[in-house]
Amino acid sequence: MNYLLTLAYDGTHYCGFQVQPNGRSVAAAFQDGLEAVLGCRPDIKGCSRTDAGVHALGFALNFHADCRIPVCKLPLALNSRLPRDIRVLSARVVPEDFHARYAAHTKTYVYRILNSAIDSPFDAGYYHRIPGRLDTEQMARAAAGFVGKHDFLALCAAGSSAAAHGDTVRTITECTVTRAGDRVEIQVTADGYLYN
């Protein structure tokens, strides 16, 4: 059967989602838990790659396996074997040809800013602190200008494979800036992203 799982994880202590030869990845930690529960180590397909230190609130992945555990109990079974910074939120059976990466039509990133002169030890790993007062109304107006289809070639890293293949056009469907007290969030939804 083909299983689709939604994960949430704190990426602080990981080198990203994808398995890396010289670092602990979310995928490897998840596969360790999967092997402990299923007794096998199926190949997993993630909806995206996340970089080192990036967190995920709703990361989709799928894998094929013969599993005797009812799908409704799979999240609890896996969570009992996963590190505390990785959690399975949901699981369901999907068609055999489903692939999480190819089924992902948009991806949303949230950038969090603590707009305060004094930082909080509880927010240090989750917010970027900017002490000077931000004009979030002006930021929101500027953010709206990013919505649409754009060529991001000028922002690609030197030697980028996307640039080499002429694959630098992306469509941003949402770019918002909101404030709640001293917390500012910039939310960007697009059909894909490029390596800086």
Q: Which two tokens stand for residue 157?
A: 């890293």
Residue 119 C-beta-side C-alpha neighbours within 13 Å: 13
Count the helix, strand and coil residues of the chain and give each as a percent rounded to the nearest 5.
25, 35, 45
Phi, psi of 126 (to 5 degrees): -125, -10
Q: Which two tokens stand for residue 56?
A: 């995920």
Q: Which residues form the catalytic set?
A: 51
* Residue 157 DSSP one-character state: P
CA separation for the pair 150, 170 (Å, rounded):
6
Handedness of CA 103, 6, 184, 153 (dihedral sign): negative
- The SS3 assignment for 70 reads coil
- The residues, ordered by sequence, that sit 6+ positions from 2 with a Cβ below 8 Å of its Cβ are 62, 63, 64, 93, 94, 95, 96, 97, 98
Number of H helices, E strands in the chain: 5, 9
Q: Residue 166: which of 176, 179, 152, 183 has the closest Cα?
A: 152
